[in-house]
Amino acid sequence: MSEWKARRFWKASLVRPVGEEFEVALDDRPLRTPGKLPLLLPTSALAQAVAAEWDAQADVIDPRTMPLTRAANSAVEKVAPQFAGVADMLAEYGGTDLLSYRADQPAELARRQAEAWDPLVDWAATDLRAPLRITHGVIPVDQDEQSLARLRRHLADLDVFGLTALHDLVTLPGSLILGLAVVRGRIDAETAFRLSRIDEDFQIERWGQDDEARDAAESRKAAMLLAERLWHLSRRG
């Protein structure tokens, strides 16, 4: 038996306001999440981008070509009902932040990490008021509780779509500081991806890279770029 696939049933999409939010309608039928919740979006820009994904569908609907729709569904169905839990999970990355853990050898790798990461550690200490402790080698380091509490408060200030965007910007590079630096405009997502791969790129220079690892890296990069796009599209004002 062939697999059933959803097919296009609408002629055109329409973006319309619903109070202070926006919805996308397919031939006057409002979009809903897979769980049948109203898909209400915070900005016209995000709604227009979601509508464009639906308008681009051919005869057979391909969810893989609708990343913003999937992200919006996740914001409504998964992040909104457990906002505090998601924020707590992301805040935990501050305690084991990638930028705090440095190589002690070889010296060239340690130099590259310091050169690339120290400016962001300094930025976290001044702009976020959350200084981080640095360790070298495999010895873990306990971060200052006040610093971690301040980082958690920065997450509490976000809205649902902002926290959804931040998720991949933190979990994929393994750094809360890199994620916050992107959403605060300190760096862009492509730079965050590059900074998160200093160790991997150093090893590739020495030993080369296989196709599977390269494909996985490109997938992570694409997800981070999408998260950055979601962040910008979902900002009001």
What percent of the chain shows pLDDT beyond 70?
97
- Looking at 40, 65, 90, the residue that finishes a domain is 65
* pLDDT score, position 218: 95
Average pLDDT over residues 131-158: 95
In this structure, the answer to whether residues 135 and 46 fall within a common structural domain is no
39 touches 33 (CB < 8 A): yes
In this structure, the answer to whether residues 127 and 57 fall within a common structural domain is no
Mean pLDDT (the chain) is 94
In this structure, the answer to whether residues 166 and 209 fall within a common structural domain is yes
In this structure, the answer to whether residues 49 and 111 fall within a common structural domain is no
Average pLDDT over residues 21-45: 95
Domain assignment of residue 52, given as a range = 1-65
Give the list of residues 6+ apart from residue 158 with CB closer than 8 angstroms, or none: 87, 166, 183
- Looking at 12, 39, 65, the residue that finishes a domain is 65
Average pLDDT over residues 23-34: 93
Domain count within the chain = 2
Higher pLDDT, 42 or 8: 42
Average pLDDT over residues 127-137: 96
* pTM given for the model: 0.93
Tell me, yes or no, whether 229 lies in a domain: yes
Tell me, yes or no, whether 17 lies in a domain: yes
In this structure, the answer to whether residues 150 and 109 fall within a common structural domain is yes
Q: What is the pLDDT of residues 150-166, one digit of tens each?
A: 999 999 999 999 999 99
* pLDDT score, position 52: 95
In this structure, the answer to whether residues 55 and 87 fall within a common structural domain is no
Q: In angstroms, what is the C-alpha Rg of the chain?
A: 20
177 touches 94 (CB < 8 A): yes
- Tokens matching residue 104: 């002690």
* pLDDT score, position 2: 45
Model confidence band, residue 5 (pLDDT cutoffs 50, 70, 90):
low
Q: Which amino acid is at 169?
A: L
Tell me, yes or no, whether 75 lies in a domain: no
* pLDDT score, position 17: 97
In this structure, the answer to whether residues 203 and 112 fall within a common structural domain is yes
In this structure, the answer to whether residues 17 and 96 fall within a common structural domain is no
Average pLDDT over residues 77-102: 97
Higher pLDDT, 11 or 1: 11
Tell me, yes or no, whether 201 lies in a domain: yes
Average pLDDT over residues 53-80: 92
Tell me, yes or no, whether 142 lies in a domain: yes
We report the CATH number of the domain holding residue 112 as 1.10.3580.10
Strand partners for 120: none
Residues written for the chain:
237
We report the CATH number of the domain holding residue 23 as 3.30.2180.10
In this structure, the answer to whether residues 208 and 95 fall within a common structural domain is yes
For residue 116, pLDDT beyond 60 = yes
- Half-sphere exposure in the Cβ direction for 209 (13 Å, CA): 16
In this structure, the answer to whether residues 104 and 13 fall within a common structural domain is no
* pLDDT score, position 3: 52
CA dist 141 → 79, 98, 168 (Å) = 30, 12, 24
Task: Map tokens 């697999």 to a residue.
Answer: 3
In this structure, the answer to whether residues 129 and 170 fall within a common structural domain is yes
Tell me, yes or no, whether 74 lies in a domain: no
In this structure, the answer to whether residues 161 and 219 fall within a common structural domain is yes
Model confidence band, residue 61 (pLDDT cutoffs 50, 70, 90):
confident
For residue 80, pLDDT beyond 50 = yes
For residue 4, pLDDT beyond 70 = no
For residue 117, pLDDT beyond 70 = yes
Average pLDDT over residues 120-127: 98
Cα–Cα nearest to 168, from 112, 237, 225, 217: 225
Model confidence band, residue 1 (pLDDT cutoffs 50, 70, 90):
very low
- Looking at 34, 65, 96, the residue that finishes a domain is 65
